[in-house]
């Protein structure tokens, strides 16, 4: 295995490989693929081809305004799909500008040196990050400054599209509850949080790579996995206690709320170590609704219910949703999710490691070895900035991440079915209430009804509404219960 990796790595050092073409081809190919997937979904959203509710759903959607809701959901889905296409084009344009020299005249006018052969804007950012106070001292420090710089720039560039998403798209379909002041505050808070998390994370990973030696693929992968595992465990603690409260207000669920005794009884029945039940003010940003639980392994846990869910659903429905959530807890689904994400990191990192010492790749984008280094070590292939090699490798392997998306969605869907099945086992009333709750949430969120199977496999980490309702019915049938009330 290791032998194979090293042979492959050496083959990739071949100076004849046209890296620029390969990388551009790879990014464009995955963009074309995403466009194709999106185009598969388009006919399902047409009011001509699909003028009414899908037949499979008709028995479940009995409200008098069901058709009206369907029409609205189609319009919402069309708007989101179109917006997605625009986002892909913007994304592609930004990548093209970053990885080429088209911006050279502008950058040169700003007083920066763009004379390197094969200069790219990426090289420009790397040089600029050396100017951050204290950053020029070492490669790791400069890399941390580089990540910070890139985060700031990409956050600023995403403002117009994020503004459009909230104040035009979501607004038009009746979901936006965010004020412009919250939007601005959120921008700075998220920027602060991502700097605080990303910059040290990158610093840590680079430290491991440098310590292990860029050549030691297996050592790099195993130690980085261990490091990321520790970070993930820490995040289970940090996220709910320190990050989520930055964005939302948590208030204890009132004891006299009709939902309270139901939650308490359900937790007791399942031996769920319940600490508190919180209501989160999701409604200050959006009227989409949800519920979840959090807490450290082996310790007591907290249940969080969105105020939007409480407002829109009956107490029985909220209880059924929580039964589903507790199914995730009972089945230790978090362990599976953590495990898969680590596997994903291991897989990506092993492929990226093949390119860490690839001089021709770095040179194609303006990162040439300094002359002094060449004179000192004429035979050894001196290496360039590791962070840049990682960045280029991840761009090169974008099609791979599309493939991984299919796999992870398959797993998360499996877990959703399991959590639903858990609710069915609690009793037929839970299954019936869960069905009602899913329909209500689906309607209130204007979620899409008709989906292309491939589009759905790629984009949705939950099974579709029809699939879930049918699975719940099958569960009810098995327990000998009639499915119609």
Whichever of 146 and 422 has its CB closer to Zn ion, that residue is 422
Whichever of 197 and 466 has its CB closer to Zn ion, that residue is 466
Tell me the DSSP string of 368-404: PPPHHHHHH-SSS-----HHHHHHHHHHHTHHHHHHH
3-state class percentages of the chain: helix first, strand second, coil last, to nearest 5: 70, 5, 25
Whichever of 310 and 419 has its CB closer to Zn ion, that residue is 419
Residues 126 and 138 sit within 8 Å (Cβ to Cβ)? no
Whichever of 206 and 441 has its CB closer to Zn ion, that residue is 441
Segment interacting with Zn ion (CB under 5 A) among 100-108, 129-137, 306-314, 408-416: 408-416
Write down the catalytic residue from 319, 420, 443, 452. 420
Beta carbon of residue 471, minimum distance to Zn ion (angstroms, whole number): 13
Write down the catalytic residue from 127, 170, 316, 325. 325
- Tokens, residue 212: 């292990």
Residues 165 and 231 sit within 8 Å (Cβ to Cβ)? no
- Tokens, residue 22: 């390969």
Task: Name residues contacting Zn ion, limited to 139-198 (CB under 5 A).
Answer: none
Per rule CB under 5 A, count of chain residues that contact Zn ion: 2
Beta carbon of residue 180, minimum distance to Zn ion (angstroms, whole number): 33
Beta carbon of residue 333, minimum distance to Zn ion (angstroms, whole number): 8
Whichever of 123 and 413 has its CB closer to Zn ion, that residue is 413
Segment interacting with Zn ion (CB under 5 A) among 12-20, 97-105, 363-371, 418-426: 418-426
Residue 368 annotated in ligand binding: no
| Four-CA torsion 326, 331, 335, 338, nearest 10 degrees | -60
Segment interacting with Zn ion (CB under 5 A) among 47-55, 66-74, 409-417, 430-438: 409-417
Whichever of 34 and 416 has its CB closer to Zn ion, that residue is 416
Whichever of 304 and 419 has its CB closer to Zn ion, that residue is 419
Segment interacting with Zn ion (CB under 5 A) among 16-24, 162-170, 416-424, 465-473: 416-424
d(CA 25, CA 401): 15
- Who contacts 110 (Cβ-Cβ below 8 Å, separation ≥6)? none
Residue 443 annotated in ligand binding: no
Residues 118 and 100 sit within 8 Å (Cβ to Cβ)? no
Q: How many CA atoms lie within 13 A of 433 on its CB side?
A: 19
Which H or E run contains 188?
helix 180-212
Residues 323 and 418 sit within 8 Å (Cβ to Cβ)? no
420 is catalytic: yes
Nearest alpha carbon to residue 284 among 254, 247, 253: 247
Residue 462 annotated in ligand binding: no
Beta carbon of residue 292, minimum distance to Zn ion (angstroms, whole number): 9
373 is catalytic: no
Beta carbon of residue 329, minimum distance to Zn ion (angstroms, whole number): 11
Q: What is the DSSP letter of 299?
A: S
Give CB contacts under 8 A, 24+ apart, made by 201-210.
Answer: 201/231, 202/143, 202/144, 202/147, 202/387, 203/140, 203/143, 203/144, 204/231, 206/139, 206/140, 206/143, 206/386, 206/387, 207/140, 209/356, 209/386, 210/139, 210/140, 210/386
Beta carbon of residue 432, minimum distance to Zn ion (angstroms, whole number): 18
Residues 81 and 45 sit within 8 Å (Cβ to Cβ)? yes
Strands 250-252, 274-280: pairing kind: antiparallel
Beta carbon of residue 328, minimum distance to Zn ion (angstroms, whole number): 6
Annotated binding site for Zn(2+): 324, 328, 416
Residues binding Zn ion (CB under 5 A): 416, 419
- The catalytic residues are 325, 420
Q: Residues forming the annotated binding site? A: 324, 328, 416
């Amino acid at each position: 295995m290791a032998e194979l990796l090293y042979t492959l790595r050496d083959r990739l050092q071949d100076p004849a490989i046209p890296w620029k073409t390969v990388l551009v081809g790879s990014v464009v190919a995955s963009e074309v693929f995403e466009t194709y997937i999106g185009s598969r979904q388009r006919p399902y959203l047409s009011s001509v081809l699909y003028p009414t509710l899908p037949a499979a759903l008709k028995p479940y959607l009995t409200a008098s305004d069901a058709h009206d809701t369907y029409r609205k959901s189609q319009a919402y889905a069309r708007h989101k799909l179109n917006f997605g296409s625009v986002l892909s084009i913007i994304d592609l344009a930004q990548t093209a500008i970053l990885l080429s020299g088209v911006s050279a005249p502008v950058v040169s006018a700003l007083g920066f040196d763009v004379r390197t052969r094969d200069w790219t804007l990426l090289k420009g950012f790397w040089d600029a990050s050396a100017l951050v106070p204290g950053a020029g001292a070492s490669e790791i420090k400069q890399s941390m400054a580089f990540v910070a710089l890139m985060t700031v720039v990409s956050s600023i560039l995403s403002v117009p599209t994020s503004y459009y998403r909230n104040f035009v798209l979501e607004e038009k379909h009746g979901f936006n509850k965010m004020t412009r002041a919250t939007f601005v505050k959120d921008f700075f808070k998220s920027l602060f949080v991502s700097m605080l998390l990303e910059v040290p994370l990158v610093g840590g990973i680079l430290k491991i790579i440098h310590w292990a030696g860029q050549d030691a693929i297996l050592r790099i992968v195993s130690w980085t996995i261990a490091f990321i595992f520790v970070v993930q465990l820490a995040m289970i603690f940090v996220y709910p206690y320190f990050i989520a409260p930055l964005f939302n207000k948590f208030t204890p669920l009132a004891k006299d709320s009709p939902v309270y005794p139901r939650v308490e009884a359900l937790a007791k029945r399942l031996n769920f170590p319940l600490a508190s039940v919180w209501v989160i003010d999701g409604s200050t940003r959006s009227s989409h609704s949800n519920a979840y639980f959090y807490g450290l392994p082996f310790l007591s846990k907290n249940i969080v219910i969105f105020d939007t869910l409480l407002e829109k659903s009956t107490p029985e429905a909220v209880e059924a949703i929580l039964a589903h959530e507790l199914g995730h807890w009972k089945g230790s689904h978090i362990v599976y999710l953590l495990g898969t994400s680590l596997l994903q990191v291991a897989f990506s990192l092993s492929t990226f490691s093949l390119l860490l010492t690839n001089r021709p790749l770095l040179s194609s984008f303006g990162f040439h070895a300094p002359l002094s280094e060449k004179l000192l070590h004429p035979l050894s292939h001196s290496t360039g900035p590791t962070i840049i090699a990682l960045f280029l490798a991840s761009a090169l392997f974008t099609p791979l991440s599309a493939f991984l998306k299919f796999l992870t969605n398959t797993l998360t869907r499996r877990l959703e079915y399991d959590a639903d099945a858990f609710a069915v086992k609690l009793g037929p009333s839970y299954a019936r209430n869960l069905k009602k709750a899913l329909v209500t949430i689906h309607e209130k969120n204007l979620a899409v009804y008709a989906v292309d199977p491939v589009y759905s496999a790629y984009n949705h980490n939950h099974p579709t509404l029809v699939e879930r309702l049918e699975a719940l019915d099958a569960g009810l049938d098995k327990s000998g219960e009639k499915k119609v009330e």
